Amino acid sequence: MKSLSIITLIAILTSCETRESSQKVSESSDKKFRPVYHFTPPSQWMNDPNGMVYYDGEYHLFYQHYPDSNVWGPMHWGHTVSTDLVSWEHLPIALYPDELGYIFSGSAVIDHENTSGLGSSENPPMIAIYTYHEPIGAKNKEIDYQTQGIAYSLDKGRTWTKYQENPVLANPGIRDFRDPKVSWMPEFEKWVMILAVKDHVNIYSSPDLKTWTKESEFGHEIGAHGGVWECPDLFKLTDQNGTEKWVMLVSINPGGPLGGSATQYFVGAFDGTTFTLSDEETRWIDHGTDNYAGVTWSNIPEQDGRRLFLGWMSNWQYANIVPTYEWRSAMTVPRELILRDTERGYEVHSKPVDELVKLEKQTVQPGSPEIREQVYLLTLETEPGKDFECTISNDLNEQVTIAFENGIFSFDRSKSGITDFEEGFGVKHEVDFSDLSIEKVKVYVDKASMEIFINDGQRVMTEIIFPNEPLVKINTSGAIKNAEVILLQ
């Protein structure tokens, strides 16, 4: 109990420190920038998506949340559910910090066989597996302050009980030891946990979610290493020819190709113990700056069969200081991950989920006075291999430019509105897409973000922006054959 009160004290002190920033509440930031169809917390701070699990008709999304301030602080798990991946209902906070620490990122599963004994086979428990981050040890620069704990719910995630014998996985003496993603793997008849450990991942297994055995390590000299590894995931996908492969997602911060945070992936094989690579290419799930810590839903029904992904639409480089005050950060739109065997090797593509069609109201042409809100889907059809440009602006001369020139695809947000909160924010982002034959570009636009899907998700670029007035004037040039705008709500 003693350490609980110290944790509370630290929480209070942290929220005092951040009070200044909370007071800068601009009346209009909610109206101006709060997305319409992307998930945002009811108020205050949010980062990573956590505990994504489907159960009994509901997609659960938990998230890293600090309900007392609009900057990062003592982490809780916020909670929301959706029946269609499009509209989200806010639920009360699911997990609060306790004497073992703040509640960092993790996952949730349905223990159908009641292997944990924490529910019954008639009412299987929903179990959250998360990282405890003990703030006093962290402050004192100890090395074992991150451990893994579990909590269970017997009422569809509405109320939670922490397991009495937490932590279930002790720290072996490594500072960065976090973000467990757990899945039941029927082919190996065990629970498998993938955990981020500083510059690599560890794989563990368990018969009951309470006792864990280390199986292997992966990644010491593979992939990008410009920062710490975080928020991994491991799952199977089938390519267009019916070949099964295992995909590992690993977020990294900093060390992303455009600076700050980003998520890399690896394609390979997994035998229940060890992950081995198909090729050594470092690939990125998204080529923009603002899709981090994304992982996938567990327990999606077999007849659906999709691997559904969602990421945090921000970047640690500036997440704490973006010009929104009532709340901070949104999630990406949910995406379906698809495996393709290509001439460049195995690639994971991201397609916006079909459910988003529900948002579509009316199709209009660029230039139509009907485009008043910055809430629409822009589709560009282009002549493959040829250069094009699309500028989207407002009457204040604020603009973004999406362009393809000499094989370089770019998103320029240097004049996109409020950019001065961070030096590196207002720049042009360039990626080499000379290997692509670009035929279609779809841009989901929602107040403070643009998510660009090339050729139905072959490549993706997610970017946040803060224009002072809606960007609604669309001008195209070069090899754009057709442009169309669908108003969304």
Measured distance CA(47)–CA(44) in Å, rounded: 10
Residue 131 CB, nearest approach to ligand FRU (Å): 5
3-class secondary structure, 357: helix
Q: Please give the helix or strand (H or E) that residue 55 lies within, else none.
A: strand 44-55
Binder of ligand FRU out of 68, 215, 230, 290 (CB under 6 A): 230
Q: Which two tokens stand for residue 351?
A: 């397609």
Q: Which amino acid is at 100?
A: L
Task: Give the x/- contact pattern for ligand FRU in 196-225, rule: CB under 6 A.
Answer: ------------------------------
In the complex, least distance from residue 117 CB atom to ligand FRU, rounded to whole angstroms: 27
Q: How many residues bind ligand FRU (CB under 6 A)?
A: 12
Tokens 């350490």, located at residue: 3
Distance CA 425, CA 289 (A): 9
231 binds ligand FRU (CB under 6 A): yes
Residue with tokens 């490549």: 459
Return the percent helix, strand and coil in the chain, to nearest 5.
Answer: 10, 45, 45
What is the closest distance, in whole angstroms, from the C-beta atom of residue 232 to ligand FRU in the complex?
Answer: 10
Closer by beta carbon to ligand FRU, 255 or else 366: 255
- The residue within the footprint of ligand FRU, chosen from 38, 178, 413, 429 (CB under 6 A), is 178
Instruction: Kindly tell me which residue out of 134, 179, 233, 326 binds ligand FRU, with binding defined by CB under 6 A.
Output: 179
Backbone φ and ψ for 139, nearest 5 degrees, come out as -65, -35
Q: Verify binding: residue 328, ligand FRU, rule CB under 6 A.
A: no
Q: Pick the binder of ligand FRU from 110, 234, 293, 474 (CB under 6 A).
A: 293
**Is 77 a residue that touches ligand FRU (CB under 6 A)?**
no
CA distance 262 to 21: 26
Total count of residues recorded for the chain = 489
Q: Whole-angstrom Cα distance, residue 411 to residue 397?
A: 17
Q: Give the residue, chosen from 18, 47, 320, 332, that forms a contact with ligand FRU under the rule CB under 6 A.
A: 47
For ligand FRU, the closer CB: 46 or 441 = 46
**Sign of torsion over alpha carbons 334, 336, 342, 345:** positive
For ligand FRU, the binding residue among 40, 43, 131, 419 (CB under 6 A) is 131
Interacting residues with ligand FRU between 426 and 465 (CB under 6 A): none
Smallest distance, ligand FRU to C-beta of residue 14, A: 13
Site for ligand FRU in 361-400 (CB under 6 A): none
48 is catalytic: yes
Q: Which of residues 82-111 bind ligand FRU (CB under 6 A)?
A: 104-105
Whether 37 contacts 359, CB under 8 Å: yes
Which one of the listed residues 48, 68, 179, 233 is annotated catalytic?
48
Terminal CA-CA length for the chain: 48
Residue in 216, 104, 78, 110 with CA at minimum distance from that of residue 167: 104
| CB nearer to ligand FRU: pick between 231 and 480 | 231
Beta strands 228-238 and 327-328, pairing class: unpaired
> Catalytic site residues?
48
Residues engaged in binding ligand FRU (CB under 6 A): 47-48, 64, 75, 104-105, 131, 178-179, 230-231, 293
